[in-house]
Amino acid sequence: MGLRSIARLGRGVWFMLAFLLVVPGVACSQKPSFEEGDCVRIQERLVDQDLEKADCGSAVGTFDPTERIYRVNEIIDNTDGGCPELQGFFPVEFIHEPDGVTYCLVQQD
């Protein structure tokens, strides 16, 4: 193995390490940000939506979707959706790409 081959091998190792640092979801699986029973609020953004943690005790009945507080009723381990039983008032099936899961949400009373 010549000097040029060793340099190429070293560069490949550096690219692999950089890839693993930039794409942590590929290197190891991460658990979802929320658990069943957690309360969340749907955060409206310019281009998309996200979930933010909320206090279950501060829930009030409202028709304003940005003020509703939801409880995570079930977590499905994929982003294909398919909450089996959407129940309660204003149920939501929230596909959360960063976590790689689907959250089945019901409005917290």
Summarised one tens digit per residue, pLDDT across range 11-22 is 544 444 444 444
Summarised one tens digit per residue, pLDDT across range 67-96 is 889 999 999 999 988 887 767 767 889 998
> Rounded distance, CA 80 to CA 82, Å?
7
Predicted confidence at residue 36, as pLDDT, reads 95
The residue type at 105: L
* Sequence-ordered list of residues with C-beta below 8 angstroms from that of 78, at least 6 positions apart, any chain: 100, 101, 102
Residue 85: which of 100, 101, 109, 104 has the closest Cα? 104
Q: What is the mean pLDDT of residues 37-65?
A: 86
pTM metric for this prediction: 0.65
Q: Is-contact 60 89, C-beta < 8 A?
A: no
